[in-house]
Amino acid sequence: MIWMKGYFIALEGIDGCGKTTHTKLLAQWLSSQGFSVVCTDEPTNGPIGMVIKQILKGRLRVPVEVEVYLFAADRAWHLAHVILPALEQGKVVITERYVASSIAYQIARGADPRIVKRANRFALKPDLAIFIDVPPELAASRVRRDRTPDEFERNIELQRRVRRGYLAQVRDGILLRVDGVGSREKIQREIRTLTAGVLGISERRITC
């Protein structure tokens, strides 16, 4: 088989940080630049993702270690059924959430960092992983405005710990931080600039 390399981008952040909006805007722009784009997210709608969604709704309780393996197994499903096939076709894959979410959330929820890292060793590394950094109070007010918060979203202390977990990954060079406070255009421009660098798009083509 001929390996046509696509590009793999992950957008990360606490609940209510604006990932979905920025994924859509980034995808629109990349399409206008001639790329074929697939937008996807975790937890998935696959068989394990559906179990995870029961946990998020508070309908199923499991120890945090089980949570770690469920998210990792859902990721394996995601890679096999969505991400790798698209990359093999040379597409740009943008996922809302990936390994950095497990490192930030499950460690914040009490999991042993070594277990989280070991469970995710199999996962293909993204070409670019961006953390949209928004203060937990602001993000929580957006979540309350848009929907009924789930188990994780209701817990502001958890969101604060998750943010710290993301910032630690920025320090480790795993994530690139974008300041998520300010206009949507400004934030999107920063995301496009980072993406342009990785995909080899001229800076002159960045419009918002």
Q: How many CA atoms, within 13 angstroms, populate the side-chain half-sphere of residue 60?
A: 12
The distance of Cα 164 from the centroid of its chain, to the nearest Å, equals 16
Q: Is 114 left (phi over 0), alpha (psi -120 to 50) or beta?
A: alpha
Least gap, CB of 165 to ligand TYD (angstroms): 10
Helices (H) and strands (E) in the chain — how many of each? 10, 5
**Phi, psi angle pair for 61, to nearest 5°:** -115, 130
Asked if 101 is part of the footprint of ligand TYD (rule: CB under 6 A), the reply reads: yes
Taking CB under 6 A as the rule, which mask of x and - marks residues 31-70 in contact with ligand TYD?
A: -----------xx------------x--------------
Residue from 71, 77, 131, 166 that binds ligand TYD (CB under 6 A)? 71
Using CB under 6 A, which of 12, 15, 133, 190 touches ligand TYD?
Answer: 15
- Helix, strand, coil percent content, the chain, rounded in steps of 5: 55, 15, 35
**Rule CB under 6 A: is residue 195 a binding residue for ligand TYD?**
no
Residues 133-152 that bind ligand TYD (CB under 6 A): 152
The reply to whether 102 sits near ligand TYD by the rule CB under 6 A is: yes
- We find the least distance from the C-beta atom of residue 96 to ligand TYD, in angstroms, to be 6
CB of 101 to ligand TYD, least distance (A): 4
Closer of 35 and 152 to ligand TYD (Cβ): 152
Which residue in the block uniquely carries the two structure tokens 């798009």? 201
Ramachandran quadrant class, 26 (left: phi over 0; alpha: psi -120 to 50; beta: rest):
alpha
Interface residues toward ligand TYD, by CB under 6 A = 15, 42-43, 56, 71, 96-97, 101-102, 105-106, 152
